[in-house]
Structure 1
Amino acid sequence: MLSRGDVFAGYAIERQLGRGGMGSVYLARHPRLPRHTALKLLNPELFADTEIRARFEREADLAAQLEHPNIVTVYDRGADDGRLWISMQFVDGVDAATIEHPVPADRALRIVEATAAALDHAHRNGVLHRDVKPANILLADIDGKERVLLTDFGIARPRDDVHHLTQTGSFTATLAYAAPEQLTGAHLDHRVDQYALACTLYSLLTGVAPFDATNPVLVIQGHLHSPPPSLRARRSDLPAALDAVLARAMAKRAVDRFDSCAEFAAAARRALSETGAQPTVFAARSMPQFPDPNHHPGGPSAVPQPYSGYAQPSYAAPAPSYPGRPMPVRRDSRTPIVLLVVLASVLGGGYWVWQDETSPVADILQRSRGHKDLDALHEAFPQMVPAGYADGRGYHRQCSASLKPQGYDDPWMKTFDGFQARRSCSDELVVDTHYVFYTYPTAEAATAVVARFRQETKDWGQASTGTRTDDRREQSTDGRYSGSAIVSTFSEPARARWVLVFYRGSGSSPHPGFTVEANMPILIADVASFPLG
């Protein structure tokens, strides 16, 4: 942790603005220019994590491409003393999650309109934000007028690269504002941000998220299956037309939503104007007073410490605790203790179900270990393995997916049973090259499977290519040749649980017209042509 007066990457640290599970944000003076910047630092223990580093660096690269009055400006990034850093525009204000809710309708619409303009600009430049929520919308008081800025592109990615950097299979967007297609792993386009923006408008106007629940499973079910909740059920002063606008922006299918975020915001504005409501004038903000950290409580010394929304962490880090962060208005509660205990139990059970990657719920939500392995296979071999978890096209072949052991009777398939995930790619020509990716729970399990296959087959030599080792094998059934295979294993730790099998033949069905002498060179040539990473 840096302290006032420390110098990092040439920036003079003044104070910490916030801290999260992935890093910290500091208010700092620019080394050469007379201005303050927000300096975001990745925690040093995460420096060696290549995926997190890539996400952190991508945040700067993507945001730096976006020049818009409603998007926080990124100035520079780099690495210093074993830590990655990003310097960006310092916004002296609060985020939309910390202001008093419900927000007056006109102010909520102005926040959404400005955010919509920022998102449409990002979309025109090929960038999806993918984590739009009130906490990522900063509000600054400039001469009595409210300025709205969108920040935190930590999980944003280019629009044509929506499957990149997901090898862990983890879901990083905030659940309360996630579109159905994010939850199911479907293809994402610009309308994923529109859905989240509509959820944000609902939250601003009501003080709760659209599918508010302590159990994450219920939140997911709401996004996937329940109709958008009515605004008028919570605020009778809002027009019914606004419910219709939100219903379209939060449609389960992206194709049924508005064409742009600006179109959604304009429709919401028209719906609101039907009530004849007068605009809410933004008054100059009275900043909360925070104790001087060098002064004892109760003394006369107090200094204003404006909160900077930059402290909101990226990458779905745990919610940070901000020093001096204004808290939302508390409502009087007389909930019985028994009800609180029940809610705590539901929350704990829901959290456990959400975290458990081996439960039936994980299979339903497509976030099991097997699903994560299928994502990782696609990341490693994008030309050979299709994205997602359904059937798709691989390297000129149709591929199917299986999760968990299948209990095969066929000796060929039974040898490789016990897998965690499987991608099998073949076509109608039984003598053509087929290939199957298997992933196992541990590297030891994968090694045992390969050893068993070696015992059951005849050795035709071994070759190595980079970190991949290819065993050439012949299989017989009842003394008759039934196929030749190349079994590939990988020495990298991340792929040590994977086994790739190329084969010619049809399992236990013999092919009298083939001999291994003629078949193996053809198979080797086919394997050499495959786009292996």
Structure 2
Amino acid sequence: AQSDSSNTLSDIDQSLVLTGSVLANKYKVLGLLGEGAMAVVYYVRELKTGKLYAAKTLKFVEEELVARFAREVKIYEQLKHANIVDALECVPGPGKTWISIMELIEGDSLEKLLEDRGPIQDPEVFSSILSQLCDGLEYAHERGVIHRDLKPDNIIIRSDVEGTSIKILDFGLAKLQQDLQRLTKSGVVLGSPAYMSPEQCMGDPLDIRSDIYSLGVLAFEMLTGKLPYEEKTPVAMMRAHCDPDRLPLTLSSANITSLSMLPFQRILSKMLEFEPADRYEDLNELKRDLHQWWQQYVNRPTGSRPYFTHVNLPKLKTPVPDLDQEISLEEKIELESLVNRQINTRLQSAKDKFQPKRLPKRSFNPRTFMPLAFGFAALIIVSAVLLIANAINSTRVNSRHETTINQTKQVKKQTLEETQKPTERQGNRRKIVGPVERF
């Protein structure tokens, strides 16, 4: 089966095959526009209107992949948003190929912008790009579409008198790369490991939080001009993303002096959490925090537009200190302290893993213990009161009993003395007559 699949791979220069041909009797192929690891893009002109478009197709003609590509493009065509490249339709090409017709965007990729100009130092430009990325991704997520391959090369940037605008390319095509992997040589890694989430590197199921992680990597690169992990091979890069005990990232090298790095550092750290459950749940939650950061901590030019529009939600979950808008010495010290604490925590966690297993400590919950303690103390007090009362009562009864005995003894004594007096006194007594003797 492996040999049959490998024979279906096309090693022919696609630009020579399609250039000059007409697709679906509607689009004429003018020439090669670009080429990636798995796809090739052409200039095409619509015969009816003369308008220029871009046409993308797979470099490989494996039947299952081509069918998957057509289905993915059909989903992609439903995404109509200002920050997503518009896909018009999918038309059949030569043989068994399918070709996606998309709007042609004039501009440079974010990758080229960073290579030519270095890290973004203008907070207005940075916030504009990041907010538009959030808007485009949120629109797709609400419709059940995950990008899976966010990277600077898939983001087109245009600047004009109205400002900076961006377009996101290639939604969902990264999933095809996983299927394509089995058709390529062993050891060849397709995709963008530098921007992959840990769960994507490990081949686990993905959701929107994977895109949020990739967006965090993009934000880090825009601010610093470098990747979070500078590894030399794709495998080493994936290993770095999959390390749960990796050292925390810091924006101390960012060149935006008018941004307060400490509040944004906390937002970025949450975007790049190893566990998806510890990241933002969705783009709306992320934009809420970004909006508050932009409003409170960025030294914004007068009349600047508001960014990071979001649905009203509860107050920011992670409070940030009320610092000056400009970076101060105290803020840098606090940022370094925060990073050092995180590093020490990570190191201690690693040390604990190599220590011998210990018996778990008995859990102690003060909230559970205190009511029991109060109840036990009350029981002791009540018992003591009852014992004291009983003792007092017993003392009183004994005293009364002794008094009664003494009185009885006294009466007996007196009676005995009277019975022992001389008989002459008896003659002087008055005879007592009973009731019968009176009659």
TM-score, normalised with respect to structure 1: 0.47
Matched letter for residue 78 of structure 2: Q
Change in CA separation of 1:66 and 1:179 when aligned onto 2, cut-off 3 Å: same
- Residue in 1 that maps onto 2:272: 250
The structure 2 residue matched to 1:27, chosen from 37, 40, 43, is 43
Matched letter for residue 86 of structure 1: S
Q: CA deviation at 1:139?
A: 1.3
Q: Is 1:102 the equivalent of 2:119? A: yes
The structure 2 residue matched to 1:93, chosen from 107, 116, 134, is 107
Q: CA deviation at 1:174?
A: 0.9
Find the residue that maps to 1:28 and give its secondary structure.
strand
The structure 2 residue matched to 1:18, chosen from 9, 28, 34, is 34
- Residue in 2 that maps onto 1:148: 166
Query: For the Cα contact (< 8 Å) 1:3–1:15, is it kept in 2?
Result: no
Alpha-carbon RMSD across the aligned residues, in angstroms, is: 3.1
Alpha-carbon distance in 1 for matches of 2:237, 2:19: 45
Superposed, 1:197-276 pairs within 5 Å as 197-225=215-243, 226-235=246-255, 237=257, 238=259, 239-276=261-298
Q: CA deviation at 1:167?
A: 8.1
Q: CA deviation at 1:66?
A: 1.2
Alpha-carbon distance in 1 for matches of 2:200, 2:142: 20
Q: Is 1:62 the equivalent of 2:69? A: no
Alpha-carbon distance in 2 for matches of 1:42, 1:164: 14
Alpha-carbon distance in 1 for matches of 2:17, 2:161: 31
The size of the alignment, in residue pairs, is 275
Change in CA separation of 1:188 and 1:32 when aligned onto 2, cut-off 3 Å: same
The structure 2 residue matched to 1:42, chosen from 35, 58, 62, is 58
Q: CA deviation at 1:31?
A: 2.0
Identity %: 27
Superposed, 1:47-446 pairs within 5 Å as 47=61, 49-82=62-95, 83-99=97-113, 100-103=117-120, 104-155=122-173, 165=179, 168=182, 172-225=190-243, 226-235=246-255, 237=257, 238=259, 239-278=261-300
Change in CA separation of 1:30 and 1:141 when aligned onto 2, cut-off 3 Å: farther
Matched letter for residue 92 of structure 1: E
Q: CA deviation at 1:266?
A: 4.0
Find the residue that maps to 1:78 and give its secondary structure.
strand
Find the residue that maps to 1:252 and give its secondary structure.
coil
- Residue in 2 that maps onto 1:453: none
Structure 1: segments with no counterpart, 5+ residues: 283-533
Change in CA separation of 1:280 and 1:215 when aligned onto 2, cut-off 3 Å: farther
What are the superposed Cα offsets for residues 303-330 of structure 1, whole Å, 9 maximum, x if unpaired? xxxxxxxxxxxxxxxxxxxxxxxxxxxx
Larger RCO, structure (CA 8 Å, separation 6 or more): 1
Change in CA separation of 1:235 and 1:266 when aligned onto 2, cut-off 3 Å: farther
Query: For the Cα contact (< 8 Å) 1:38–1:90, is it kept in 2?
Result: yes
Query: For the Cα contact (< 8 Å) 1:136–1:152, is it kept in 2?
Result: yes
More strand by share: 1
Alpha-carbon distance in 2 for matches of 1:98, 1:177: 17
Alpha-carbon distance in 2 for matches of 1:21, 1:156: 11
More helix by share: 2
What are the superposed Cα offsets for residues 278-324 of structure 1, whole Å, 9 maximum, x if unpaired? 35999xxxxxxxxxxxxxxxxxxxxxxxxxxxxxxxxxxxxxxxxxx
Change in CA separation of 1:156 and 1:17 when aligned onto 2, cut-off 3 Å: same
Find the residue that maps to 2:125 and give its secondary structure.
helix
Q: CA deviation at 1:2?
A: 4.8
Find the residue that maps to 2:156 and give its secondary structure.
strand
What are the superposed Cα offsets for residues 408-440 of structure 1, whole Å, 9 maximum, x if unpaired? xxxxxxxxxxxxxxxxxxxxxxxxxxxxxxxxx
Q: CA deviation at 1:132?
A: 0.9
Alpha-carbon distance in 2 for matches of 1:214, 1:163: 21
Matched letter for residue 75 of structure 2: L
Structure 2: segments with no counterpart, 5+ residues: 1-14, 305-439
Q: CA deviation at 1:172?
A: 4.5
- Residue in 2 that maps onto 1:372: none
Greater Cα radius of gyration, structure 1 or 2: 2
Change in CA separation of 1:154 and 1:279 when aligned onto 2, cut-off 3 Å: farther
